[in-house]
Amino acid sequence: MALWARQVSRWCCLLQAARAAEFPRGLRGRSSTAQVRRGFAPLALPPSGNEVLPWRLQVYRHVSVGSCSAPDSAKDGSFSSPECNLPSLVKQEQAKSETLPDLSAKTLYEDWDDIPPSSALEEISEEEAVQIIAEPLLPLQSSTLRDYVDHSETLAKLVHLGVDLSQVEKRQKAGQLLLTLDFEKDIRKILLFLKDVGVEDNQLGPFLTKNPYILAEDLEALETRVAYLKSKKFGKAEIAQMVSRAPYLLLFSVERLDNRLGFFKNELGLSVKKTKDLVIRLPRLLTGKLEPVKENLQVCQIELGFQRNEIQQIVFKTPKILTASKKRLKQTFDYLHNIMGIPHHMLTRFPQVFNSKLLRIRERHMFLTFLGRAQYDPTQPSYISLDQLVSLPDEVFCTEIAKASIQDFEKFLKTL
């Protein structure tokens, strides 16, 4: 705008100079053909803000007066001012079609103080070219979320939170889900909810790594499921423990959670209190498939020969037996019962032995047999409980149970 104002000022000065030069010649009555110098056609200045400036540049012409026939007053000797003829001449010239003068951009730029904007086609030097930093293009398709971290504020914040994107992208459609979410709008409220439930700050990242789908859940539905657990007399600390150890727990509707609790209560014949204690210690029983659980219960009863009340005790003390491999379960029982001679009632008292590796049980039993100390009958002297057999570290087992050194135990293992 400053440039246009400066140009208008120059045109006004030219107009004043033209009037000062032409009017005296008209007064002297110099006879010549009217000479009209072409000026600028009307131009409207661009509007500023919400106002439209009502300025228009008028057509200015330098007019030499005296080319017309002398008026009657001049013939009579009287002299009339040429200013009376000026309006008619100007009107005649204004009626003619006017065109803009052929002004080159170079001439205008010489008069203006501002530097003209550079053109997209303008050539630049190699030094300027290498200084141009181009932003990396967002890949249209990728098999890893790593390619999107620099372009997504949501992914960047999740990484800072401790989410392992390399594990998330292995889960079905989890990567696509994260790319559609906004951290402030969609994710922050879920994080605040999890903290309110009792998930620790340092566990939020690992939790979302295991269960990113919770970010797409309705907040009201999540609150309803927590309210259901509270109605079943689960304490706040117990709910926090269950949610942290079984991240998928809150994806289950109230109806499914209720059905799962009813299944374990009825199938095992447990009381309400013992059922609660069971799922608190192994909350993934509420989220895992029920078919393996049913199969393991049948194996314990039919193939291993445990009674219903014995199965209740085994499961209550060692819930993991419900999700253990059937093959491993049968192999461990076969060695304990048929090789070592451990009866059912002893296995019922120490069911944690089923959680131990069969190789560990075999190596220690064979070492005790080599030393003549393999005694598992509680009525006999030098009795060794199954808990001591499998739970103690090697050094403690050797010195306190086997009454030997760790070096002796290692030498024996080399002979196997």
- pLDDT tens-place string over residues 122-148: 677 777 766 766 555 445 455 567 667
> What is the pLDDT averaged over residues 54-59?
41
Q: Which of 267, 264, 349, 337 is closest to 305 using CA atoms?
A: 337
Distance from chain centroid for Cα 138: 15
Examine residue 313 and state whether it is found in any structural domain, yes or no. no
Q: Which of 216, 218, 235, 138 is nearest to 172 (CA)?
A: 216
Taking alpha carbons only, the member of 374, 383, 381, 370 closest to residue 414 is 370
* Least reliable range by pLDDT among 114-123, 193-202, 253-262: 114-123
Query: How many whole angstroms separate alpha carbon 259 and alpha carbon 276?
Result: 13
- Domain boundary (216, 238, 266) is at 216
Instruction: Please state the pTM of the whole predicted model.
Output: 0.62
Reference 279, options 316, 237, 233; nearest CA is: 316
User: What values do phi and psi take at 355, rounded to 5?
Assistant: -90, -10
pLDDT class of 330 with cuts at 50, 70, 90: very high
Is the pLDDT confidence value at 30 over 60? no
**Does residue 45 belong to any structural domain of this protein?**
no
Q: How many residues does the chain have?
A: 416
Using the 3D structure, point to which of 188, 216, 244 is the last residue of a domain. Answer: 216
**Are 205 and 168 a contacting pair, CB within 8 Å?**
no
Whether residue 62 lies inside any domain: the answer is: no
Range of the domain at 162: 144-216
Assigned domain for 183 exists: yes
Lowest mean pLDDT among 29-38, 105-114, 159-168, 231-240: 29-38
Look up residue 78 and give its amino acid. S
What is the number of structural domains in the chain?
Answer: 2
Which phi and psi angles does 44 have, rounded to 5°? -95, 130
Give the model's confidence band at 10: pLDDT under 50 very low, under 70 low, under 90 confident, else very high. low
CB 323 within 8 A of CB 293: yes
More confident residue, 34 or 350: 350
Model confidence pLDDT, tens digit, residues 142-179: 556 766 777 788 888 999 999 999 998 888 888 888 88
Q: Is the pLDDT of residue 54 over 90?
A: no
Choose the weakest-confidence range: 7-21, 184-198, 215-229, 309-323: 7-21
> Which residue, 159, 184, 216, sits at the end of a domain?
216
**Residue 118, domain member (yes or no):** no
In a domain, residue 409? The reply is yes
Residue 67 located in a structural domain? no
Within a domain: 254: no
Average pLDDT, the chain: 78
